[in-house]
Structure 1
Amino acid sequence: MPPQTFDSYEEFWPYYVAMHSRAATRWIHLAGTLTGLAVSAYGLARGRRRYALALPLIGYGTAWPAHFLIEKNNPATFGNPAWSLRGDAQMIRMMLAGRDDELARTAAEWLAENR
């Protein structure tokens, strides 16, 4: 798929979700992000600032292989880092709110229209 360009986050969002079309990818993102947050928070609470590195290391360290191995695509972060970070937060909030089915529908609709 050629690189995508977007004029707004709202235009980017369905693409971002489509790059996470498989539930396993979304759940690996959630697990990596929450684990990274927990380790970072623990370290910071203990006065160990280097633990703040756990969030990007664990978060990206689990998410990126999921793209290569499960989705067979490149992470959206490579082309749109700020919007991808925002998208990850939105995706995780939706999953924690029990809205994973909505994410699956958004991904399927975007892929049907753009492949």
Structure 2
Amino acid sequence: MSTQGAVDPHSFHSFGEFYPFYLGEHSNRTCRRLHFVGSTLALVCFAVVLTTGSLQFLIYGLLCGYGFAWLGHFGFEKNKPASFKRPLYSFMGDWAMYRDIWLGRIPF
């Protein structure tokens, strides 16, 4: 269930306050899985940039990361990504959630 109607993302004063809100905006398992796939592909694209110097893969990485995430939000979670209002905290949340999925703290 989305919490965006009840909570203003601008009201958070720290990432620690924001992260529980962020997780609430990712309660749909398919949305989380799409985020995970997009983040993994973004990391692969970044590795390609580092190994080949081909900067076009930076664009591919952004498209993968945000494309999969937005598909999850608009198609499955039925909410707007928090990145529209809190881009830095949302970016940090993406990677914190990615880590927490790997560590088994959040169900994949």
Asked if 1:83 is matched to 2:89, the reply is: yes
Note if contact 2:31-2:77 (Cα within 8 Å) is conserved in structure 1. yes
**Superposed CA offset, 1:42-70 (max 9, x none):** 13311212212222111001101210111
TM-score, with normalisation over the residues of structure 1? 0.81
Structure richer in helix, relative to its length: 1
Aligned to 2:79: 73
Point out where structure 1 has 5 or more consecutive residues left out of the alignment: 104-115
Asked if 1:51 is matched to 2:60, the reply is: no
Asked if 1:62 is matched to 2:77, the reply is: no
Aligned to 2:47: 41
* 1:84 aligned counterpart, secondary structure: helix
TM-score, with normalisation over the residues of structure 2? 0.86
- Deviation at 1:33? 0.8
Equivalent in 7, 30, 45 of residue 13 of structure 2: 7
- Deviation at 1:40? 2.6
* 1:10 aligned counterpart, secondary structure: helix
- Deviation at 1:2? 5.3
Q: Distance in 1 between matches of 2:34 and 2:71?
A: 10
- Deviation at 1:39? 2.1
Letter in structure 1 aligned against 2:30 = A
Aligned to 1:94: 100
Point out where structure 2 has 5 or more consecutive residues left out of the alignment: none
- Deviation at 1:80? 0.4
Aligned to 1:18: 24
Note if contact 1:41-1:52 (Cα within 8 Å) is conserved in structure 2. no
Note if contact 2:38-2:69 (Cα within 8 Å) is conserved in structure 1. yes
